[in-house]
Amino acid sequence: MANCRHTLLLGICAWNLLPGLAGPVRGAEIPPTSSANQHRSSAPAIIFNSAGKTAVVASDGTGLRWLDFDVPHQSTWQVAGFFSDGRWLLLSMEPRRDGPGRPSDQDPGHDWSDLCVGRPDGSENRLLTHGQSQWFAATYGPPSRHGGGSNLPVWTPDGQLLFSRRLPGSKVPWQYQPQRPDVDHFNRDYQPDAARGGTEICRCDPETGRTIRLTHSEPPVWDFRARVSPDGHQIVFCRAATGQVPSLWIINADGADARRIATGRDGRGVDQPRWIPNG
């Protein structure tokens, strides 16, 4: 195994998180706008979501443009991030709904999504997965210590994608309840007897769509929040059995040498790991 000197920063069970606005985009050009304000700004660009749509704007407030990611039967849901050169955008997408903000009858909790890459101007879109194979709304834990939050795919330094792939027929134990008002941004009931399957960390080639499985467990568990080390040699992720809090695991970039490295404060679970570059 490569001697990786990077360290990890992680949160302790981040509770009931919601997807927020995307952060600043470094190096991405602002597409020309069709509005009266058509000049191209030299200011850094920012991309964000609003009411199920995606837009780009300069940091000086000019050049606002709403993007149209024309992917059949899909609607833009969450910006996952740019590749380091700023020329390719990674999106987490879900089937079209009847209107902005309205949940899908088949997936009211937005548990699942698909991967798509495209240009920052909305062109050259490429849907990489099908059948809602990405675990998007990660949920975990027992009733006394449940948590969750958006589980987005990430780029690797060599231009590949890491995501949490759904095993066929999988169903989470925390089921969303669309018949009642969502007052806590969770709105789920714990139904462990109905749960089945799990998820695995996979690597996807955005050019070909070829996917390689990196983690596997018997019986299945829920692997999520994968993050690759800055040197690309290791991957950290969270793993939770049904009804349990997550622990922190690490593997080599090829999936070898899987091992648990932390269970959180007093065994209360971990979430949101991040690598800290040294030097």
Report the pLDDT value the prediction gives residue 20, as an integer from 0 to 100. Answer: 29
Report the pLDDT value the prediction gives residue 122, as an integer from 0 to 100. Answer: 78
Distance CA 29, CA 148 (A): 33
Name 70's Cβ contacts closer than 8 Å, sequence gap at least 6: 122, 125
Owner of token pair 């597409």 = 31
Report the pLDDT value the prediction gives residue 68, as an integer from 0 to 100. Answer: 78
Report the pLDDT value the prediction gives residue 10, as an integer from 0 to 100. Answer: 53
What is the tens place of the pLDDT at every residue in 11-67?
543 333 223 223 333 333 434 433 334 455 678 888 888 877 788 899 999 999 888
Q: Which long-range contacts (CB under 8 A, 24 or more apart) does 169-176 make?
A: 169/196, 169/197, 170/196, 170/197, 170/198, 170/199, 170/220, 171/195, 171/196, 171/197, 172/111, 172/139, 172/222, 173/139, 173/242, 173/243, 174/139, 174/140, 174/146, 174/148, 175/109, 176/108, 176/109, 176/111
**DSSP per residue, 90-131:** EEEEEE--SSTTPPPSS-TT--EEEEEEE-TTS-S-EE---S
Report the pLDDT value the prediction gives residue 97, as an integer from 0 to 100. Answer: 58
Report the pLDDT value the prediction gives residue 8, as an integer from 0 to 100. Answer: 60
Report the pLDDT value the prediction gives residue 53, as an integer from 0 to 100. Answer: 78
Domain 7-276: which topology? Methylamine Dehydrogenase; Chain H (2.130.10)
Give which of 195, 93, 212, 107 is closest to 156, Cα–Cα: 212
Question: Is the pTM here over 0.85, yes or no?
Answer: no
Report the pLDDT value the prediction gives residue 78, as an integer from 0 to 100. Answer: 78
Q: Which residues of the chain have pLDDT under 70?
A: 1-41, 72-77, 96-105, 279
Report the pLDDT value the prediction gives residue 212, as an integer from 0 to 100. Answer: 98
Distance CA 120, CA 275 (A): 26
Two tokens at 72?
């059949």
Report the pLDDT value the prediction gives residue 4, as an integer from 0 to 100. Answer: 44
Domain residue limits, the chain: 7-276
Report the pLDDT value the prediction gives residue 12, as an integer from 0 to 100. Answer: 40
